[in-house]
């Protein structure tokens, strides 16, 4: 009898431990969310291959943003091979705490950094950890570090698609996206293709591919020598239908700056190589510009106060495009639902087709309603998750006509057809195709 009681007690204790772990995880996620809501944009720097210069890209991207006036945090989650402290010459600065918070090391007025390397006694010390410990450390970097208010958090990840990249992608579900780094040779591109598919499976937006070590420019005669070939990154990006950002050549000054802790984009900002780096910065800030968040906040406030609605309609040749997920252009029509008036109508190029990207992109542009011929149930659910209403079964007419009918209440949602003015699509025997 006593053995049975002991077994029951063990089961109860096991259940309690499970509940305790769930409660602990819930609290941790709340703490992470509280910290991360103060950071406007999060960008992950990834690669399926080691030794491609990923940390070099992350450091110089962060420094360039900081030099441009943005408040930036640089998070190094390469637990086993942290290199950020050396690249920014932070080794001797260490980390401080205030209360329960860790204070990140400061490189400049606009740039803070956190790295496992700042917690190690020496550069040659080895970290021998399994997955759970690494996950715990990454969580601590997110929830216990007092990042303050930032414009950008740049995350430098170790190569591959294992524990660290997976953890950070799951802990930052609202990340702007990933910059994927490769070198031109096929041995690198094979692994980087896996990284692209990793992002797609996690619905992580791909901001673009950077081809590093793309040729060598002779400092004496300016002749370009293709040491590792060139163009492989661009070709791979085109094949996998992801954006290509830029090519960065091998530059002796770039190598020296990493070793000496003098970031290239701070000390050599006028060079040709620096201009290649600047392309990454420009495209990232264009992809989700500084004023995008402010615009969306203002737009939401206007909607509440003035009944303004922003409607997105996929268009082709000035009329509704029946291929919602693959259309190249959206017409954004803003209307005053109270006065039934169209305020303006503009067209914006759609992002490259990636699973799960379009609903987030429309939400970022302040869209409240989508009018389309038809979409799949999964796409409809993703739009609804973003707080975007959907009108299905619209005919291939000009967007201003569709919006006007919607304002009149005669355009209602259907399946593959719509009911307009009492007729099928309002055009007699016309049938919507999608």
CATH at residue 353: 3.30.420.130
Write out residues in the chain with pLDDT < 70, as ranges.
Answer: 1-19, 91-94, 122-124, 222, 287-307, 352-355, 412-434
Coil, helix or strand at residue 97 = strand
Does 326 lie in the same domain as 235? Answer: no
| Closest CA relative to residue 263, chosen from 246, 247, 273 | 273
H helix and E strand count, the chain: 14, 19
How far apart, in whole angstroms, are the C-alpha atoms of residue 402 and residue 372? Answer: 10
Give the torsion through C-alpha atoms of 108, 113, 116, 118, to 10 deg.
20
| pLDDT of the residue at 122 | 66
121 domain-assigned: yes
The contacts of residue 413 (CB under 8 Å, 6+ apart) are: 390, 391, 392, 393
153: nearest Cα among 118, 178, 134: 178
The 8-class DSSP code of residue 397 comes to -
Q: Would you call 101 exposed, middle or buried from its count of C-beta atoms within 10 A (0-12, 13-18, 19+)?
A: middle
- Is-contact 67 270, C-beta < 8 A? no
CA distances from 124 to 80, 82, 259, 344 (A): 11, 11, 15, 61
Q: Write the CA distances from 122 to 117, 126, 281, 426, integer angstroms.
A: 8, 9, 33, 75
Choosing from 257, 288, 319, the residue where a domain stops is 288
154 part of a folded domain = yes
Token pair in block for residue 46: 């990834």
Q: Which of 140, 136, 132, 134 is nearest to 114 (CA)?
A: 140
Model pLDDT, residue 61:
94
Measured between alpha carbons, how far is residue 45 from residues 57, 131, 248, 336, 353 in Å? Answer: 8, 20, 15, 41, 21
**Bridge partners for 106 per DSSP:** 112
pLDDT at site 150: 95
pLDDT at site 154: 96
Which of 261, 288, 315 terminates a domain? The answer is 288
Cβ-based neighbours of 26, under 8 Å, separated by 6 or more: none
Has residue 13 been placed in a domain?
no
182 lies in the same domain as 47: yes
- Of the candidates 348, 347, 345, 337, the one whose C-alpha atom is nearest the C-alpha of residue 302 is 337
305 and 279 in one domain? no
- Domain total for the chain? 2
Per DSSP bridges, beta strands 423-424 and 419-420 are antiparallel
Whole-number pLDDT of residue 44? 96
Would you state the pLDDT for residue 66?
Answer: 93
Q: Does 330 share its domain with 250?
A: no
Alpha carbon separation from 145 to 174, 279, 358, 370 (Å, rounded): 19, 30, 32, 40
What is the domain range of residue 166? Answer: 31-288
Based on the fold, state whether residues 139 and 85 are members of the same structural domain. Answer: yes
| Straight-line distance from the first to the last Cα atom of the chain, in angstroms, rounded to the nearest whole number | 69
Clarify whether residues 308 and 283 are in a common domain.
Answer: no
Among candidate residues 357, 329, 360, the one with its CA nearest the CA of residue 345 = 329
Same-domain status, 137 and 154: yes
Report pLDDT for 157: 92
User: What residues are paired with 182 via a beta bridge?
Assistant: 211
85 falls within a domain: yes
Provide the pLDDT for residue 161: 81
Does any domain span residue 11? no
Whether this prediction's pTM lies above 0.85 is answered by no
Say if residue 96 is in the same domain as residue 129.
yes
Whether 405 maps to a domain, the answer reads: yes
What distance in Å separates the CA atoms of residue 387 and residue 324, rounded to the nearest whole number?
18
Domain annotation covers residue 21: no
The reply to whether 94 and 167 lie within a common domain is: yes
The reply to whether 251 falls in a domain is yes
pLDDT tens-place string over residues 96-119? 888 888 899 999 999 999 998 888
> What integer pLDDT is reported at residue 421 of this predicted model?
35
Task: Residue 72: count other Cβ atoms within 10 Å of its Cβ.
Answer: 27
Could you tell me if 48 and 178 are in contact, meaning their C-beta atoms sit under 8 angstroms apart?
no
Domain match, 138 and 164 both: yes
Strand partners, 181: 210
Last residue of a domain, one of 288, 308, 336: 288
Residue 90 and residue 198 in one domain: yes
Q: What is the CATH number of the domain that holds 158?
A: 3.40.50.300
Alpha carbons 73 and 60: distance in angstroms, whole number: 12
pLDDT score at 233: 86
Shared domain check, 364 and 282: no
């Amino acid at each position: 009898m006593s053995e049975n009681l002991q077994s029951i007690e063990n089961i109860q204790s096991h259940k309690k431990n499970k509940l305790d772990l769930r409660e602990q995880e819930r609290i941790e996620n709340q703490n992470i969310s509280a910290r991360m809501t103060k950071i406007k944009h999060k960008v992950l720097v990834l690669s399926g291959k080691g030794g491609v210069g990923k940390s070099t890209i992350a450091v110089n991207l962060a420094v360039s943003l900081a030099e441009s006036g943005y408040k930036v945090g640089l998070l190094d989650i390469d637990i086993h091979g942290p290199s950020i402290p050396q690249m920014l010459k932070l080794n001797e600065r260490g980390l401080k705490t205030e209360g329960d918070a860790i204070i990140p090391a400061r490189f400049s007025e606009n740039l803070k950094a956190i790295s496992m390397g700042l917690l190690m006694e020496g550069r040659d010390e080895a970290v021998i950890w399994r997955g759970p410990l690494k996950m715990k450390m990454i969580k601590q970097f997110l929830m216990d570090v007092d990042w303050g208010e930032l414009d950008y958090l740049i995350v430098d990840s170790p190569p591959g698609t294992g524990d660290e990249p997976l953890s950070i992608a799951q802990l930052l579900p609202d990340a702007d996206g990933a910059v994927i780094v490769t070198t031109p040779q096929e041995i690198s591109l094979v692994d980087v293709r896996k990284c692209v598919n990793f992002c797609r499976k996690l619905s992580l937006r791909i901001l673009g591919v950077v081809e590093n070590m793309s040729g060598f420019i002779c400092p004496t005669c300016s002749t370009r020598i293709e040491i590792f070939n060139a163009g492989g990154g661009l070709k791979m990006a085109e094949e996998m239908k992801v954006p290509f950002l830029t090519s960065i050549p091998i530059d002796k000054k770039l190598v020296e700056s990493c070793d000496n802790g003098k970031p290239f984009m701070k000390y050599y900002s006028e060079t040709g190589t620096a201009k290649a780096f600047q392309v990454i910065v420009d495209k990232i800030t264009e992809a989700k510009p500084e004023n995008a968040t402010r615009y969306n906040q203002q737009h939401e406030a206007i909607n509440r106060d003035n009944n303004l609605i922003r409607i997105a309609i996929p268009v082709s040749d000035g009329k509704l495009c029946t291929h919602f997920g693959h259309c190249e252009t959206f017409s954004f029509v803003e209307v005053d639902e109270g006065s039934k008036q169209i305020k303006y109508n503009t067209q914006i190029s759609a992002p490259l087709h990636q699973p799960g990207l379009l609903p987030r992109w429309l939400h970022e542009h302040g869209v409240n309603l989508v009018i389309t011929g038809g979409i799949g149930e999964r796409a409809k659910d993703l739009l609804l998750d973003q707080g975007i209403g959907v009108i299905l079964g619209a005919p291939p007419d000009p967007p201003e006509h569709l919006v006007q009918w919607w304002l009149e209440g005669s355009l209602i949602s259907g399946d593959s057809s719509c009911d307009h003015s009492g007729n099928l699509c309002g055009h007699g025997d016309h049938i919507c195709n999608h």
